[in-house]
Structure 1
Amino acid sequence: MDILILGIYAFFVWLIFIKLKWLPWNITSQVIVVIIPIVGMAILILSLNVFAPSSSDVRVYKYTVPIVSQVKGRVIEVPVEEGNRLVKKGEVLFRVDPTPYQLDVNVLEAQLANAIGGQREQEESLKGARGKVAEARGAMQQANSNVSAATANFELARKRVQQYRELVRTGAGSKFDLEKAETDLRAQQGALDAARSQQAQARGGETQAMSSEQQVVQRLGAKSNGEYAQVAQIRAQLENAKWQLAETTTRSPCDCYVVNLQLRPGGFVAGLPINPVMTLVEAQGQIVALFGQNELHQVEPGNEAEFAINTLPGKVIKGTVDSIIWAQGAGQLTPSGQIPVSGPVAPPPGRFAVKFNIAERDRELFLAAGATGDAAIYTAHGHHIHILRKVLIRVSAWMDYLVLKLH
């Protein structure tokens, strides 16, 4: 681009000073003709690096997902292949023999049915025990009523005996009436004793009924989420067994490519988090470019950006600035007991990473993880010189067709 501008400038110099001779070609004009392109190109390059900064350190990052089996067992199927075939989210990666896990599910389902049946029997027993408790409480209330009535009659008979004794002592009463009143008192005493005995029996019956009810309640156990503990425990074990059965089929968590596939049918997976059996590389990549620290003061999220990736010669990828990562390792102090040492020579200033969003039209392009290239950001200022950077980025994209090797 610089050569093209200089060529156009040289043409006009030749046309004005040599061909048409509109201006004299002397020492003064020659010096001016030489100084103008030098100053102009310097101003142009400096402005271009501020308002349309570029980077030759562009990198394509992709997240990887190590796949680890949740269960252990013998592998019976591995339907995926390593390479460029895209594995869709939810697609089967491999299957483990489900037989032992299905047997666990069958056993727990039988135990759950048995526990539910036993619970129903205990619930019926509890209803019967509570009925007996209610009956015993009714008998107890009746006995209390009988004791109250007998006590009232006994007190009345005792008062009559006292009254007849007073009358006999004064000569106003009959001895026969006194003897009859004493006989009535002894009868009421017997009735009171019988009522108290009945009350004691009713209290014992109530205690026994409540004890029977408590025993049934203890056999049923406490409740959890509306179910008795034994049934809830077996149900939880059954749900876990069903989950393990489902985990015998491992599916892809994303749209990814399979790499480092070492698993084969007949192999054994241990279900340990430190033993991945394959690695998935996400289909969509993240483009990041590194810029000098003084190149980013005009860059803002949302600015237009373009990339030329080496693996896609002649292709210019559109995008926008997502964010600037204003942090790097040189600004971090590791906790320790030592004073940081800067060294005898100051290290070069570190660069900051800029993350980009890929434009909708280019999201289906295949971006290889680890690919490199060039990038340019077009800020909100200096629009008249953005065209120069766009020409340069396209020249860089076409230069990727050149394979400069001597062997």
Structure 2
Amino acid sequence: MLELIAIIYALIVWLIFIKFKLLPWNIKSQVACVAVGLGGIAVLVFTINITTPQSNDIRVMNYVVEVIPRVNGRIIEVPIEGNKLIHKGDVLVRIDPAPFEMKVRELTAKLVDAEGTAATLQSEAAVAKGATGQVLAQLQLAQTRLKEARDLARHGAGPEYDVQSFAAQVAQLESSLASARAAEAKVRTQLDAKVGADRASVAAVREQLAQAKWELEQTVIYAPSDGYVVNLQVRPGSYAVSFPLRQLMSFVELEQRVIGFYDQNQLIKVKEGDRAEIVLRSRPGKVLYGHVESIIWANASGQLQASGVIPTMAPEGTRAPPLKYAVRFKMEDSQQLKMAMGSFGEAAIFTDSMKMFSVVRMVIMRIKTKINYLVFKLE
């Protein structure tokens, strides 16, 4: 940028003093030209670096989804190709569903059995209630006879043996009544044990069946969005493992982010919505247009790591340079989003301050995009 401005200024001086000789070229004019040139260039550079800040560190980033299976099994089909466009919902991988289908059938049978068992609880409760009533009636009869036998024995009209016999019968029936009531309470507890509208036993099997069906659905892995797979190595016969460190593939989404990193004092005038021009080395001759979507006012130098050591400043002379702040750009034309992932380039932001200097930055950006056609290497 400095070289271009200096060349333009030198051209103007040459035209005025040498070519057309509009002013005399002497020691005074020479000193004045140098002083005015240096001062003017300094003012111009400092001004446009604030009003139209520019960064040489612009990156095109894509979201990458690490495809990890949710279930274990042998892969039977990979119906995609690497580096080919895949639409959202397309099948990426199929895992052998046979073990999961067998588990679903097994739990389906268990659910039918559990529902049948739950249906018999009503009849079991009625039987238990009837048994309790029958024992209670027998107990009441035995208690009445015991009372009569005691009255007769007290007046000498009956044997003491009858009193002992009826007393033993009452004790036996009281024990039977306690057992009958316990059996009735057990059935009643099973009837009252519900999860929602289902009995507890039925609900447990139903949840196991739902889990088995979900696992069966996970045997087919679908594309989470439009994108493509890079470095596809998985093949039919491979074994998929539900483990975070055993990804099947990396799925690159088409959605892109354009991020620029600016020096901290360059963003004084920048705000969200400011217009931006972006030049990428992968697209020479093209100027892409967008605007500032957001500024991330945070970087790693402002964070302290949790530890048992008291934070301290770096020794004098070893302090690292201040880190830059990231600016996220939103492209205006959807067609411009089809950029190569990982592309580097430059970007200029045009603020609302001193717009007359924007022309200088626009000229510089267009020159740089032409320079991107040049490949500086011999091998």
Amino acid at match of 1:89: K
Return the offset for 1:56. Answer: 0.7
TM-score (norm 1): 0.75
Q: Unaligned regions of 5+ residues in structure 2, if any?
A: 145-156, 158-169
Note the 1:202-351 alignment, pairs <5 A. Answer: 210-218=181-189, 222-317=193-288, 318-329=290-301, 332=304, 335-337=307-309, 340=312, 342-351=314-323
Larger-Rg structure? 1
Q: Call closer, same or farther: CA 1:133–1:301 in 2, change over 3 Å.
A: farther
Q: How many Å separate the matches in 2 of 1:276 and 1:337?
A: 37
Q: How many Å separate the matches in 2 of 1:103 and 1:351?
A: 58
Q: Call closer, same or farther: CA 1:40–1:229 in 2, change over 3 Å.
A: same
SS at match of 1:43: helix
The reply on whether 1:6 has 2:6 as its aligned counterpart is no
Return the offset for 1:222. Answer: 2.4
Structure-2 residue corresponding to 1:386: 358
Q: Call closer, same or farther: CA 1:228–1:214 in 2, change over 3 Å.
A: same
Note the 1:51-66 alignment, pairs <5 A. Answer: 51-66=51-66
Give a deviation string over 1:212-252, Cα, whole Å, max 9, x none.
42232355572222321211111111111101111111112
Q: How many Å separate the matches in 2 of 1:220 and 1:303?
A: 69
Residue pair 2:273, 2:291 contacting (<8 A) in 1 also: no
SS at match of 1:342: coil
Return the offset for 1:369. Answer: 2.8
Q: How many Å separate the matches in 2 of 1:255 and 1:340?
A: 48
Residue pair 1:324, 1:352 contacting (<8 A) in 2 also: no
Structure-2 residue corresponding to 1:36: 36
SS at match of 2:261: strand
Residue pair 2:52, 2:350 contacting (<8 A) in 1 also: yes
Q: How many Å separate the matches in 2 of 1:357 and 1:133?
A: 80
Amino acid at match of 2:198: E
Amino acid at match of 2:369: A
Structure-2 residue corresponding to 1:175: none
1:367 to 295, 320, 339: 339
Q: How many Å separate the matches in 2 of 1:56 and 1:40?
A: 24
Residue pair 1:72, 1:271 contacting (<8 A) in 2 also: yes
Q: Percent identity?
A: 32
Return the offset for 1:64. Answer: 2.1
TM-score (norm 2): 0.80
Structure-2 residue corresponding to 1:76: 76
Give a deviation string over 1:37-96, Cα, whole Å, max 9, x none.
33222211110001111111112233322111111111110012211x222222211001
Note the 1:89-104 alignment, pairs <5 A. Answer: 89-104=88-103
Residue pair 1:330, 1:350 contacting (<8 A) in 2 also: no
Amino acid at match of 1:45: V
Q: Call closer, same or farther: CA 1:237–1:334 in 2, change over 3 Å.
A: closer
Structure-2 residue corresponding to 1:152: none
SS at match of 1:322: strand
Q: How many Å separate the matches in 1 of 2:305 and 2:98?
A: 54
Amino acid at match of 2:42: A
Q: Unaligned regions of 5+ residues in structure 1, if any?
A: 147-185, 187-198
Residue pair 2:261, 2:327 contacting (<8 A) in 1 also: no
Structure-1 residue corresponding to 2:151: none
Amino acid at match of 1:106: R
Q: Call closer, same or farther: CA 1:118–1:398 in 2, change over 3 Å.
A: same
Provide the aligned length of Structure 1 versus Structure 2: 366
Structure-2 residue corresponding to 1:125: 124
SS at match of 2:337: coil
Residue pair 1:74, 1:96 contacting (<8 A) in 2 also: yes
Amino acid at match of 1:351: L
Residue pair 1:258, 1:281 contacting (<8 A) in 2 also: yes
Return the offset for 1:285. Answer: 2.1
Q: How many Å separate the matches in 2 of 1:64 and 1:80?
A: 17
The reply on whether 1:404 has 2:376 as its aligned counterpart is yes
Q: Call closer, same or farther: CA 1:130–1:393 in 2, change over 3 Å.
A: farther
SS at match of 2:377: coil
Return the offset for 1:373. Answer: 0.6
Q: Call closer, same or farther: CA 1:401–1:205 in 2, change over 3 Å.
A: same
Give a deviation string over 1:231-279, Cα, whole Å, max 9, x none.
1111111111101111111112233321232210111112222211111
Q: Call closer, same or farther: CA 1:310–1:336 in 2, change over 3 Å.
A: farther
